[in-house]
Structure 1
Amino acid sequence: MKKQTKISRRTFVKTSSAAAGGAYLLSSLSTQADFIKAKGGEVQLNWLGDAKPIHNQGLTWGVSWPKGKIKRNSGFELIADDNQEVPIQSWPLAFWPDGTLKWTGHAVPAIPLLADNFTLKPTTRVKKLEGIKIEDSESLITIDTGGVIYKLPKSGNQIISSILKAGKTMASNGRLILLHQDAADEDSASAIQRSIFQGEISKVTLEQNAALRSVVKIEGSHQSEAGRAIVNFVVRLYFYHKADAFKMIHTIVFEGDEKQDFIKGLGVRFDLPMHDELHDRHVRFAGEEEGIFAEAVRGLTGLRRDPGRAVIEAQLAGRKTPPIEMFPENVSRNIHYIPAFGDYTLFQGDSDSFSIRKRTAEGHSWLNAGKGKRARGLALAGGPSGSFGFGIRNFWQSYPGQLDIKNAHLDQSEVTAWLWAPNSPTMDLRFYHDGMGQDTYPKQLDALDITYEDYEPGFGTAKGVGRTSELNFWVLDATPSHEELNEMMQYLTEPPLLTASPDYMLQVGVFGGLWYTDRLQSDRAEAFDKQLLWYFEFYQKQVEEHRWFGFWDFGDFMHTYDRDRHVWRYDVGGFAWDNSELSTDLWLWYYYLRTGQKEVFRLAEAMTRHTGEVDVHHSGPFAPLGSRHNVMHWGCSAKQLRISTAANRRFYYYLTADERTGDLMREQVNAAESLLKVVPIRKVAPKDTWGTDDPNQVYLGFGTDWGAIAAAWLTEWERTEDKSIRDKLLASMRSIGNQPKGFFSMGSRMNLKTGEFEISKSQKASASHLSAVFGLTEIAIELYELLGMETFNKAWLQYCQYYNASPEEQEKVLGNSLGKLNLAQGHARLTAFAAREKADTRLAKRAWEEFYEGSGGIKSHGQAKFISGNKVLTPRTEAEGVSTNATAQWGLAAMHCLALLERK
């Protein structure tokens, strides 16, 4: 076959500009070579949100590099804007096919970082970093961060056996706690049986043993005394040089029977020695905004007898008070009659209210100590001789949460960070209805027709779903001031992150280059920017107004709005939780790449945490597939790769170097095998289409199925340079390209060992409107650019050009028309890609016509209106015609089309 001549992008800029007055031009990727040359291999880094950390306990981030530029063994140096060199630890995250670095991870220690921006550049200088010291024995890992020593057993139920500072034990017996019930609180059970399931360790791995940042991964399960496990856990502990704190990423996977295993409490607990006098022991909670709850275990204010200003001011500030013998005699002789309050609890029962209570000891009444709306999730106990802080990130957003301090009046107290508060009703994971007689596929399809819910008995189980939480713990020499507590709180709530600019990443060419930056100045770009911002802010407001918060819900959006009831359809089948439908995740991440805005990053981050954990089965019969949209996040019987796809996780992983997100993507590498057991098209296609007796063959659609597998294989190959993964990816691409109708052949059986698809015998061209809208477009374009495989690229270009083409054009080229297809607006970006690659101004014009016509998407943008009064429960904003599917696809199409067709 004669090799097709490809018009260069530079040539297309000139020809399209001449032919169309410059209306349909190329992406700014055309300037990549000049950009990289000018930069000289350096990258400027800025703080996300321009917020430099006043309180720094160490931080990690990721950086992209241009192909062929940075050698795999390169070192790096970080220079602040005042020319001060900052100690830095670096490691590879991904490689280009030529072996050069594509993404790198970096970490800096817990030192002051007061510069506004930094320059990161490769270096050949060998630098020996002095920092964390680690001893790894058969039974114990000891980590010395340069001030704090942690001892981590490799078995048992203690994740940290002791924490020492200056030779003194600051905390001990760190363990994971789960409170179990055999019935829900609301059920009419004659007697509810409660028990504690300890977190038993099965495996400890020193994942990163380095000078500035070290990571320990702890795996295990919560077990009953009889050894029955109902929850698996994966805990990562992060230690930074010179840090007075450590970070925990805490993941659970539910393994129980939701009909009999109810979680009453889930938390992390430590024992603390209490050395100070009762009136020098202090409790702190971070309340709303900058508010701090601050009390001593034995208060000295408000007494009938005045201890004096020196004593009161010292106690209020958390400093050591003068010796008791220096107190006024009428206070010191009766001080033992002042009650000591040993127990404190802050309970955030929902997103809008918290309460603080205290009592002297168990067996006595609680006193109401304070109330508020949204506690920030940080607590502290201790005194002038040392204190221990603990906090849960996104605390009120992930309610019900609880922070406990107990026995602060004794020699040893106990603190617990509750991720699921025992003061709340039990965690109930049961499906929300009894099936309503849907015991056959025809009945289930009839129900789907009216409620959009794809139900099947046994498929609505929560078995295997996960949840990840982030916590921080501080080991302090004294009681921090209120200002210092708020600085700690800021570090917990908004972890500092260094980022490269969207413009830099666009020029480097990662993520397909499918966005534009401020360098693109046009009326169209200005109009799109306004509308993109409007949609983002609208959904921000929906999250707040409709309270899309909670342990299992935070991070997700709802699917469709019910204008009659003025609510999102939270209780209507498949119209409720969105579960990544039509690439909501990708919309947010590409919008972050467009803007670089902190608010966008944080919303996308929360969605990535949620959709990667809660919406996916990580164990059990449906692992590692995700669940389609439903009233329950895990409720739909459509268990599919399009939800669990690594395409939705890659952004967060590469921008933050987050190991847990890396786990989620690695889960998907062999996910195609799961389709042997759980066939996506089992209800709608005859078995001879997908059935096979060969365990090494499985039917995959070339759209949502292969797009997800390709994302997983591409990412794993980039991360590990595993040649077997590369070969499977290439074989799958090549065999799609060799199909009679390419992507329009729709699907085939794939060899699980080689990745190669059988060649279809059918000459009919077909298409599904869903194939390209779950990450296939973005991954296919990235592979197109990355590998330049002629057979694959030809097939992909054909799909891009003819999906939205007229029936006559389709029939002429494909042999038959594709019939009536949906989502033409979202597919306009495919037409735009074909226009760019073929240097075809006619196609470019057609792409914009498809986009603005809005078929299967948004024809005209709705206006928001505010509703209050007796028609709604609470005041809220709604907009005509806005749905999450359409918004996500409009946003992606807008950004992609501009990136592909407009001048920079």
Structure 2
Amino acid sequence: MKKITRRKFVQDSVLTAAGIPLLGAIKPSSNAKNAAVSVPLHWLDKPTYANGVTFGVPWPKGALKKDAGLALISGSIEKPVQSWPLAYWPDGSLKWTAHALSPLAISAEEVKLQAATIKKAPAKPLIEETNSHIKVNTGKLQCVIEKNGSTIFESLSAAGKETAKNARLVLLVQTQDSDDEISDFQLSRLEGKIEKVIVEQNGPVRAVVKLEGSHADSSRQLLPYIVRLYFYAESDSVRLMHTIIYDADESKDFMRGLGVRFDVPFQGTELHNRHVRFVGENGGVFAESVRGLTGLRRDPGQAFTQAQITGNPTPINAELPQTVAQRLQYIPAFGSYTLFQPTPDAFEIQKQTRQGHARLQSAYGKRSAGTGYLGSPAGGVAFGIRNFWQSHPAQLDIRKAEQEKGEVTLWLWAPRSQPMDLRFYHDGMGQDTYAEQLEGLEITYEDYEPEFGRPYGVARTSEMLILALPHTPSNAALAEIADQIQSPSMLLPMPDYLAASGVFGNAFSLPDTSSEKKAAIEKQLDFYFDYYKNQIEARHWYGFWNYGDFMHAYDTDRHVWKYDVGGFAWDNSELSTDIWLWYYFLRSGRSDAFRIAEAMTRHTGEVDVHHIGPFAPLGSRHNVMHWGCSAKQLRISTATNRRFYYYLTGDERTGDLMREQINAVKTLQTVVPVRKVNAAAPKNTENSDIATVSFGTDWGAIAGAWLTEWERTQDKAIREKLLNSMRTIAAQPHGFFTGSSLLNLKTGAFEIDKTGKVSVSHLNAVFGLSEICFELLGLVDDPKFAKAWLDYCRLYNATPEEQKQELGESLKKLNLQQGHARLTAFAAKQHNDPKLGQRAWEEFYKSQGGTRSTRLEITHLKGPEVLNPIDENPNVSTNGAAQWSLGAIQCLAFAGLYLNE
């Protein structure tokens, strides 16, 4: 095996704009010694057409110092890797690091990351920056970005030839819903205007450029955007992460189209050498040329037809038979093509010679991969939208391909579909007072209030890939590109290493079937995940604004999820669905679990949260509309739900969302999350330094944001606010059972309650508070806080007599005892108490407020009883599945040795 590279951790060279230190590409060293730590890695999906990959790795506390180096070994070969810190342990050692690999470093061989002491060596970054431009050179691709104007990149070149230029954002807005009989609406076209350009990372393997702005025309601006461009050394592609924030008036502005457009220069290429490609499903490819030479009345010869079919250059025109050569101008040139995916189950392809003439129906299919190509044998551009059919309505347009400069548009919202309609789904039904709204809550579980159901401030992030290619790819190669766009290669540590690293509160262990009871738990864990995976498909939980979310509750009479019943529809992270999926992935390593958890993290962090406006940055409780509930809460926007994806991928947008939550508590001064059911809640003024905060869902979210920022940056001020909040919770007369208090926003300290009240809610610990406290006890040496939390864990499910003895009164009848069994298990682990451990399992199996039935059977239904054939288990609800699964996973981790047959 080749000797391991050594390099000093480069703290001050090749910095990102945010000051992230990078480890440059690894060079060989002759004085290597055995590394102290070696991390085995595995591919979630077999790497095919590689575009570069970024992944995160955790390190046990104290195992990796700040100045340590890292080497990546693939098989027996050392590969260049760019590394940077994501988080630190309290002792200053590295907790999480991110790593970027170029396509040349990607292989299907065994891969491991190794700690090493290495020397600093110069490495040329990918970006050169001037006052007016940013120039990126990956070796295979050159990209020029203008710092001002309206193009997200000015040009894209491969092999010395410009293949794409003038990329810009496009927004089409109409003033009226197309369903209305009056159809004289006005259509406006806006383009993205750049307000800020930041080089976020500039290393030898990976570079990131962030652009911010709004879509604008001469009269107004709409939909602020954030676009990140990702580049990897020796890659021929640029990855686009595209975020829009909704700031329109949904009753007047109907988004007709939203996309990215760029030009493709042909530089005199013959029309019959201009190629159009679309990838359908199962590797199928639609392949045509602008001017077709096949099927003609006069045969041009096999040399010409085969070259055109395979995407190779045809012989020169002089070699054409005269019967064809003198009539080329009479062969129609089809310069416009559209692939339109209006639903998750159907797409169509049409083509047209030019505007003003009929479109020809060219092909149909079910689920397009959302990837295309426009170019010639001398070069062109492949392009694609990730989760294309899942995020319908989507569309790919090719225009002007018969001219000197073709045009490609990747439509994230398809203009051929109905316009985007985000109006609330009912008129309020007379719910003008709190009393009436509470009555509505009683019947449909919908917490309605006028003006609170608006989408103002919600966001959506989409992912695209643009590749500058030196020639037309084969159909097989383009299909591989499509596969990589839809399921990018992902490299991650093995589950056993993740479980042993000490991250995420040590709250998960590896699957264990060593006993009958444990095997039954593992079976049910798999059943719940597989059931929801299948429900996504069977119930079509797809769409631009929907993909990634689950439904909340099931209607056994109609055999449908309650998509139209108030607060029973979209789940919006209720009872920690996100956290369940991530812990399930951490222990299983399943690729499908990662993809579903990833989609949920993208959705719940963007669509379910208000990022601007009066509710920002709070999230919305479950509702028919993702943003529709009037309960705007930290428990939905919590950074705790995002930490898993961020640390496993280093994703910058997710990092933004977590940072957005640092001061979210201030919004509680003006938006009281329990407004209608707690009229006595203090009405704090916006200019004061205090807010009313519960010790459960509110503080759990605040602590998650502060903890994450502290470990990401080592910020002492954030750390002190977090510690102050912990100290003053512990100092309350009844600790967590005091319920809530006034939080000083500047210091993080709670006011000490003087009433001696006892207050507790069954929801306190089931929105991430448990997971954050599990972590905090391992990070912060605060015996008083530890006691306060462990008392809560121990007493929540205790007998009324035990509760009264310690709190002075017994607690009211509480719900979700089964989900809280994991708190008892944690206390058993911390106290090394077998009785508590055994009690935890009794609670898990026998307590009310959970899933007591282990019936895993599926009923198959078909017409005419239902519209489409479905498999159902009416006993499954998302609340129950999430809490049962988290209870099972964490009871096994903390008290698995007490589970007796």
TM range (shorter): over 0.9
Amino acid at match of 1:47: W
Contact preservation (8 Å) 2:164, 2:380 = no
C-alpha separation in 1, matches of 2:861 and 2:305:
51
Q: Indicate the residue corresponding to 2:229 in structure 1.
A: 237
User: Which of 249, 254, 262 is equivalent to 2:254?
Assistant: 262
Amino acid at match of 1:231: L
User: Which of 751, 754, 761 is equivalent to 1:761?
Assistant: 754
User: Which of 45, 50, 53 is equivalent to 1:56?
Assistant: 50
Cα deviation for residue 314 of structure 1 reads: 0.8
Contact preservation (8 Å) 1:132, 1:143 = no
Q: Indicate the residue corresponding to 1:839 in structure 2.
A: 832
Cα deviation for residue 153 of structure 1 reads: 1.3
Q: Indicate the residue corresponding to 1:216 in structure 2.
A: 209
Cα deviation for residue 169 of structure 1 reads: 1.9
User: Which of 859, 866, 871 is equivalent to 2:865?
Assistant: 871
Q: Indicate the residue corresponding to 2:7 in structure 1.
A: none
C-alpha separation in 2, matches of 1:209 and 1:220:
22
C-alpha separation in 1, matches of 2:463 and 2:437:
39
Q: Indicate the residue corresponding to 1:696 in structure 2.
A: 689
Q: How does 1:281-360 map to 2 (within 5 A)?
A: 281-360=274-353
Contact preservation (8 Å) 2:343, 2:389 = yes
Q: Indicate the residue corresponding to 1:76 in structure 2.
A: 70
Q: Does 1:362 align with 2:355?
A: yes
Amino acid at match of 1:475: A
Contact preservation (8 Å) 1:230, 1:261 = no
Cα deviation for residue 352 of structure 1 reads: 0.2
C-alpha separation in 2, matches of 1:845 and 1:133:
58
Q: Secondary structure at the match of 2:818?
A: coil
Q: Does 1:123 align with 2:123?
A: no
Contact preservation (8 Å) 2:821, 2:840 = yes
C-alpha separation in 2, matches of 1:607 and 1:854:
29
Distance change (3 Å), C-alpha of 1:804 and 1:687: same
Contact preservation (8 Å) 1:344, 1:404 = yes
Cα deviation for residue 243 of structure 1 reads: 0.9
C-alpha separation in 2, matches of 1:519 and 1:209:
44
Q: Indicate the residue corresponding to 2:375 in structure 1.
A: 382
Give the alignment's TM-score, normalised by structure 1: 0.94
User: Which of 384, 400, 404 is equivalent to 1:407?
Assistant: 400
Cα deviation for residue 520 of structure 1 reads: 7.0
Q: Indicate the residue corresponding to 1:593 in structure 2.
A: 586
C-alpha separation in 2, matches of 1:321 and 1:740:
85
C-alpha separation in 2, matches of 1:688 and 1:372:
56
Q: Does 1:45 align with 2:46?
A: no
Cα deviation for residue 518 of structure 1 reads: 4.1
Q: Does 1:894 align with 2:892?
A: no
C-alpha separation in 2, matches of 1:878 and 1:298:
51
Q: Indicate the residue corresponding to 1:574 in structure 2.
A: 567
Q: Indicate the residue corresponding to 2:172 in structure 1.
A: 179
Higher relative contact order (CA 8 A, sep 6+): 1
Contact preservation (8 Å) 1:617, 1:623 = yes
Q: For residues 228-277 of structure 1, what are the alpha-carbon distances to aligned partners after superposition, in whole Å with 9 as ceiling and x for unaligned?
A: 22201000000111111110000000011111111000000001111321
Cα deviation for residue 127 of structure 1 reads: 4.9
Q: Secondary structure at the match of 2:868?
A: coil
Q: Does 1:493 align with 2:482?
A: no
Q: Does 1:471 align with 2:464?
A: yes
Cα deviation for residue 874 of structure 1 reads: 0.7
Cα deviation for residue 702 of structure 1 reads: 0.3
C-alpha separation in 1, matches of 2:119 and 2:253:
55
C-alpha separation in 2, matches of 1:111 and 1:490:
18
C-alpha separation in 2, matches of 1:400 and 1:190:
22
Q: Secondary structure at the match of 1:398?
A: coil
Q: Indicate the residue corresponding to 1:33 in structure 2.
A: none
C-alpha separation in 2, matches of 1:128 and 1:406:
48
Cα deviation for residue 111 of structure 1 reads: 1.2
Contact preservation (8 Å) 1:582, 1:885 = yes
Cα deviation for residue 851 of structure 1 reads: 0.6
User: Which consecutive unaligned segments of at least 5 residues does structure 1 have?
Assistant: 1-37
Cα deviation for residue 132 of structure 1 reads: 4.3
Amino acid at match of 1:187: D
Q: Does 1:734 align with 2:740?
A: no
Contact preservation (8 Å) 2:159, 2:470 = no
Q: Indicate the residue corresponding to 1:198 in structure 2.
A: 191
Cα deviation for residue 110 of structure 1 reads: 2.2
Amino acid at match of 1:837: Q
Q: Secondary structure at the match of 2:306?
A: helix
Q: How does 1:68-107 map to 2 (within 5 A)?
A: 68-81=62-75, 83-107=76-100
Q: Secondary structure at the match of 1:161?
A: strand
Contact preservation (8 Å) 1:131, 1:241 = no
C-alpha separation in 1, matches of 2:103 and 2:832:
52
Give the alignment's TM-score, normalised by structure 2: 0.94
Q: For residues 663-721 of structure 1, what are the alpha-carbon distances to aligned partners after superposition, in whole Å with 9 as ceiling and x for unaligned?
A: 00000000000101101122222435564687100010000000000000000001011
C-alpha separation in 2, matches of 1:739 and 1:80:
54
Q: Secondary structure at the match of 2:817?
A: coil
C-alpha separation in 2, matches of 1:526 and 1:745:
39
Distance change (3 Å), C-alpha of 1:465 and 1:885: same
C-alpha separation in 2, matches of 1:688 and 1:630:
24
C-alpha separation in 2, matches of 1:693 and 1:115:
56
Distance change (3 Å), C-alpha of 1:795 and 1:433: same
Equivalent pairs, count: 863
Amino acid at match of 2:835: R
Deviates more, 1:676-685 or 1:427-436: 676-685
C-alpha separation in 2, matches of 1:158 and 1:128:
36
Q: Indicate the residue corresponding to 1:14 in structure 2.
A: none
C-alpha separation in 1, matches of 2:646 and 2:383:
26
Contact preservation (8 Å) 1:359, 1:367 = yes
Contact preservation (8 Å) 1:54, 1:112 = no
Q: Indicate the residue corresponding to 1:790 in structure 2.
A: 783
Distance change (3 Å), C-alpha of 1:182 and 1:858: same
Q: Does 1:278 align with 2:274?
A: no
Q: Does 1:248 align with 2:240?
A: yes
User: Which consecutive unaligned segments of at least 5 residues does structure 2 have?
Assistant: 1-33
Amino acid at match of 1:495: P
C-alpha separation in 1, matches of 2:259 and 2:613:
24
Contact preservation (8 Å) 1:341, 1:409 = yes
Q: Secondary structure at the match of 2:390?
A: helix
Q: How does 1:678-693 map to 2 (within 5 A)?
A: 678-687=671-680, 689=682, 691=684
Amino acid at match of 1:776: L
C-alpha separation in 2, matches of 1:167 and 1:354:
36
Percentage of matched positions with identical amino acids: 56
